[in-house]
Amino acid sequence: MWRNIASNALTLLVVVLIALGGLLAWAQNQFVAEGPLERGICLRIDRGASIAQVSRQLAEKGALTQPMIFRLGADYTDKASQVKFGSYLISAGASMQQILEVITRGGASTCGAEVNFRIGVAGHDLILREVDPSTGRYEEVASFVPGVDAAAPAYEAAVAAGDLRYRVTLAEGVTSWQVVEALGAVDFLTGQTAAVPAEGSLAPDSYEVSRGADRGALLAEMAARQRRILEDLWAARAEGLPYATPQEALVMASIVEKETGVAGERPQVASVFVNRLRRGMRLQTDPTVIYGLTNGKGVLGRGLRQSELRRETPYNTYVIDGLPPTPIANPGRESIAAALDPAETEYLYFVADGSGGHVFAETLAEHNRNVARWREIEAERAREADRPQ
């Protein structure tokens, strides 16, 4: 009898083990299988939320059919305690494993609303964007000019909701004065700016900030980033350049930045000015003259007068020899790279070609022909503008 009992117990144990193995295999398959979401969703996780709370949120939003398996999977992979607060995009069909990876990876939130405060040469604006969960792309919700326009109602509502990410974006070619003036206009930064940073010392880039961030600390980060860029590129500079210091290279980079908006032209534009310096020719570039008139405080808004081209200022490169005393804007990395590794050309001149770029020349005669063509283009455009519509 005892032998039968032992045999039956062993059989039962085998059956139980097989059942458990099957259950485990099923659970593992459920954990990695495609999820039930038909459309993407935004999942907001509060600071300190537990894996149990998150699993209930996901179930309520239709992203999970087996919350317990999700929790067990989080425990098994040691990620139950690694949930990061924020707003996350959960894509359609995301498996439990993929969802767990998204909410424990950390870093920037991938869903919800974002404020992008853009500082450009012609002005600044604030853009409020939200992720469309169905496409995963940002869609503009509102925009306005801080310090000029009233805040958009959608922006005020998003601030009140408290689920916002903030970004400050500097365009290439902005002046330090423009940056300081613009930063003073937004309500999500705090602190005072003691002085306008040195021209050229701020890196045009996109900066993630928190609401309440200090303006001075942000400017310090911009300056530190520009220093690193200049140090790295100066160390790898081409041989034989006519610069004694990294600061002189930065001056050249700012001129290149202001002379062309076509990225691919920067090395050619830099080559023109480098060739001129090597030959002892004056740079004769309008953007430096303009900076001497405005001191970087906004745009001139009109063409240069002949009297201004003849006026002697430290920045009038039609009058002075060599480089002006300081940069005339904050150049981006690519313009600094062009100044420190210009194209190898014999170009000494360039003029607009009518398409947004420039045409280059090695001789004055060739340049004069190019200028004549540009004048013809300008005249034709003026005639078209005067024609009745």
Q: pLDDT per residue over 190-235, tens digit each?
A: 998 889 999 999 999 999 999 999 999 999 999 999 999 999 999 9
Q: Average pLDDT, stretch 354-375?
A: 90
User: Which CATH superfamily hosts domain 27-105?
Assistant: Endolytic murein transglycosylase (3.30.1490.480)
Distance CA 293, CA 168 (A): 28
Residue 295 has pLDDT above 70, yes or no: yes
pLDDT at res. 176 = 97
Q: pLDDT per residue over 46-73, tens digit each?
A: 778 888 888 888 888 787 888 888 888 8
Residue 335 has pLDDT above 70, yes or no: yes
pLDDT at res. 172 = 97
Q: Are 164 and 156 in contact (CB under 8 A)?
A: no
pLDDT at res. 9 = 56
Helices assigned H by DSSP within the chain: 2-32, 51-60, 67-76, 96-105, 153-161, 176-183, 215-235, 246-259, 266-278, 286-294, 306-310, 333-340, 364-386
In the chain, the amino acid numbered 218 is L
In the chain, the amino acid numbered 321 is D
Return the domain boundaries, the chain.
27-105, 113-230, 240-385
Q: pLDDT per residue over 17-51, tens digit each?
A: 565 666 567 667 777 788 787 777 777 787 788 88
Among candidate residues 323, 357, 339, the one with its CA nearest the CA of residue 271: 339
Residue 77 has pLDDT above 90, yes or no: no
- pTM of the entire predicted model: 0.79
Q: pLDDT per residue over 79-92, tens digit each?
A: 788 887 777 778 77
C-alpha distances (whole Å) from 268 to each of 260, 265, 273, 358 are 10, 5, 9, 10
- For strands 41-45 and 86-90, give the pairing: antiparallel
pLDDT at res. 14 = 56
Distance CA 96, CA 77 (A): 12
Residue 16 makes CB contacts below 8 A (sequence gap 6+) with none
